Amino acid sequence: MNHIDPLRISIIGAGKVAKALCRALSLGGVEIVEIYNRTRVEADKLAAELDNTNVVDRIEDLNTNVDAVAVLVKDDALESIAKLIPHSIRRFHASGVTDRKVLGEENGVVWPIKSFNAKSSYDSLSGVPFGVDASTDEFRETLDKIVKCVGGRGFHAPSEVRDKVHLAAVFADNFANHCLAISQQILQDSGFSTNLLHTLAEGLLSGAATGTSFERQTGVAIRGDKGSQQKHLELIQSFSNSQELAEFYRLLSKHISESHKTH
């Protein structure tokens, strides 16, 4: 049997995405060679969780004997940081909206369709879809291997595809989560447990999993129940941000109603 050397990856960043990817890569047999972070203490903490990972104080000093460096920082810092990376090192980011070309000549993207917070940085990435693209076919093959090492499901996502998928993800996750947070606050302010929402949330997930969210839409907006909507708007007046919340309620209700009138 031929021996296959493990992939060698270095990491720039020590935030939520970097932590999640480092942990998953290490478990998947990838060698994390070096970590750089603006705040060294965070890089030291992350390196301590890994095997034989060094921390460097300057991006310019990164080891060039790696398959790639993952640039896992805020989107608006990607381009400036990429300019400091030794030219011979291939690099990729994990952004859903930033063009890979900001990283320089040999570049790529490995974008996980997943939200990351302090707790989820310990989650497995197994089964997570990853949008992958690169400046060369060879580098894309390397990035596909990285996705496989963490148990993810890669798909080709050039910039124009990734932009649309990211927009869809914002509606599915960020906006939906914000609506759930509003619901939870209403219940808590009224002295009720947020457990009352579990069955509804499970229904949302079911619709998402089967692609039938549009068909399962119910409620006062789709029925055109003006009386119930007016009562809701009156209840909203008791909240501190009542004006913004009422406008949000009206806009969503109008969009639901008009979307279903055309079908």
The predicted-structure confidence for 205-243, as pLDDT tens digits, reads as follows: 888 889 889 999 999 999 999 999 999 999 999 888 899
d(CA 263, CA 260): 5
The predicted-structure confidence for 167-180, as pLDDT tens digits, reads as follows: 999 999 999 999 99
Q: What would the mean pLDDT of 177-202 be, rounded to a whole number?
A: 93
Domain boundaries, the chain: 8-157, 163-261
Query: Exposed, middle or buried: residue 30 (CB in 10 Å: 0-12, 13-18, 19+)?
Result: buried
Give yes or no for a contact between 106 and 90, defined as CB atoms under 8 angstroms apart: yes
The predicted-structure confidence for 41-80, as pLDDT tens digits, reads as follows: 999 999 999 999 999 999 999 999 999 999 999 999 999 9
Q: What would the mean pLDDT of 19-32 be, rounded to a whole number?
A: 95
Which residue's entry shows tokens 């011979």?
88
Q: Do domains 8-157 and 163-261 have the same CATH topology?
A: no
The architecture (CATH level 2) of 163-261 comes to Orthogonal Bundle (1.10)
d(CA 85, CA 106): 12
Indicate yes or no: pTM above 0.75: yes
Residue 66's region, left for phi above 0, alpha for psi from -120 to 50, else beta, is: beta
Domain 8-157 part of CATH 3.40.50.720: yes
The predicted-structure confidence for 84-125, as pLDDT tens digits, reads as follows: 999 999 999 999 999 999 999 999 999 999 999 877 666 789
Query: Exposed, middle or buried: residue 165 (CB in 10 Å: 0-12, 13-18, 19+)?
Result: middle
